[in-house]
Amino acid sequence: MLTSLQNPLVKQLRKLHRAKERREQQLFLLEGTHLVEEACAVGLPLMTVCCTEIWQAQHPSLWQQLQNRSQRLEIASPEVVKAIATTVEPDGIVATAERIYSQPLALKSFGLVLETIQDPGNLGTMIRTAAAAGVEGLLLSADSVDLDNPKVLRASAGQWFRLPMGVSSNLKTEILNAKKQGMQIIATVPTAAQTYWEVDFRKPSLILMGNEGAGLSHPLNELADAQVTIPLSPGVESLNVAIAAALMLYEAKRQRSG
């Protein structure tokens, strides 16, 4: 049993709290039963699994799966599991997996592009919403919060594993490629004359969403075939970017379903 916080493995896993270490080790953390279950459901191989004896006893079926899917399994004290996790009260299990971003993405019908998203809760929520709305894939700018930030994974409620995602250092090129493939590019702009429900989302569409404070950059805005606005009541300055994305995605889903 792992009981010491000075154990080399424990030290290595604790480093994964930091983005720099996740990039260097090419690993990320999965915290909690739900995320581990979702990883197993999609067949994601796990590198290291650490759980408490109590957790093991309470989840015999999942433990059996983990024995077949993990390179290394360790029983650990609750103190060690808590030290490895980023959550205040972990539920008894943490695991690691190799970083997996499917890039480039072959977006042909319905995609979401996110530029310079900084809040992990927002990103995780948009991943969850995009998966629910049937988005083909999500493309994220390289200067955004890491896709495998632990808060992003938790906010995605397990949909992180089911939505194809990629990270790009040149979104402009990616968007131009999508235009060449016949996709219309749609951006939200507060001053646009057209509302978001007036766009024909039945066409192959790529929705652009920008930074929480600054919005979409001018170079990307210029690529839009349609600029739309989300009407707000007087005195309301803006919507949270995850809420705005949800409105856009579900209007697209409504049109594409009907």
Each residue's pLDDT tens digit, 226-239: 999 999 999 988 89
Quote the CA–CA distance of 115 and 73 in Å, as a whole number.
Answer: 38
Quote the CA–CA distance of 184 and 240 in Å, as a whole number.
Answer: 24
Domain range for 240 is: 110-257
Domain end, chosen from 98, 129, 158, is at 98
Q: Six-digit token pair at 20?
A: 């720099």
Kindly report the number of other CB atoms within 10 A of residue 72's CB atom. Answer: 12
Domain shared by 60 and 177, yes or no: no
Residue 103 has pLDDT above 90, yes or no: no
Rg (CA), the chain: 20
Q: Could you tell me the strand order of the sheet in which 205-209 lies? A: 165-168, 137-141, 110-114, 205-209, 184-188, 226-229, 194-195
Domain shared by 210 and 114, yes or no: yes
Domain shared by 50 and 175, yes or no: no
Q: Six-digit token pair at 51?
A: 């759980």
Residue 101 has pLDDT above 80, yes or no: no
Q: Which amino acid is it at 9? A: L
Report yes or no on 13 lying in a domain.
yes
Confidence of residue 105 (pLDDT cuts 50, 70, 90): confident
Report yes or no on 216 lying in a domain.
yes
Residue 57 has pLDDT above 70, yes or no: yes
Domain shared by 76 and 132, yes or no: no
Task: Specify the pairing of strand 137-141 against strand 165-168.
Answer: parallel
Q: Six-digit token pair at 126?
A: 């948009």
Mind listing the pLDDT tens digit for each residue in 9-38?
A: 999 999 999 999 999 999 999 999 999 999
**Which residue from 7, 107, 92 is spatially nearest to 57, judged by alpha carbons?**
92
Domain end, chosen from 66, 98, 130, is at 98
pLDDT score recorded for residue 191: 87
Domain shared by 28 and 115, yes or no: no
Domain shared by 65 and 187, yes or no: no
Report yes or no on 104 lying in a domain.
no
Report yes or no on 217 lying in a domain.
yes
Helix residue ranges, H only, 90-209: 120-132, 150-155, 171-180
Q: What are the strands, taking DSSP E only, across the chain?
A: 27-31, 46-51, 70-75, 93-98, 110-114, 137-141, 165-168, 184-188, 194-195, 205-209, 226-229
Domain shared by 251 and 154, yes or no: yes
Question: Into how many domains does the chain fold?
Answer: 2
Domain shared by 120 and 244, yes or no: yes
CATH number at residue 253: 3.40.1280.10
Please calculate the CA angle 113-41-108 and round it to the nearest 5 degrees.
30
Report yes or no on 103 lying in a domain.
no
Quote the CA–CA distance of 185 and 54 in Å, as a whole number.
Answer: 51
Helix residue ranges, H only, 59-185: 60-69, 78-84, 120-132, 150-155, 171-180
Report yes or no on 61 lying in a domain.
yes
Report yes or no on 3 lying in a domain.
no
Domain shared by 135 and 85, yes or no: no
CATH number at residue 28: 3.30.1330.30
Confidence of residue 170 (pLDDT cuts 50, 70, 90): very high
Distances (CA, A) of 220 to 113, 171, 257: 10, 8, 28
Mind listing the pLDDT tens digit for each residue in 187-203?
A: 998 889 999 999 999 99
Straight-line distance from the first to the last Cα atom of the chain, in angstroms, rounded to the nearest whole number: 56
Report yes or no on 198 lying in a domain.
yes
Quote the CA–CA distance of 198 and 218 in Å, as a whole number.
Answer: 23
Domain shared by 125 and 62, yes or no: no
Domain shared by 75 and 143, yes or no: no
Kindly report the number of other CB atoms within 10 A of residue 67's CB atom. Answer: 10
Domain shared by 122 and 44, yes or no: no
Q: What is the largest CA-CA distance in the chain?
A: 63
Domain end, chosen from 98, 133, 150, is at 98
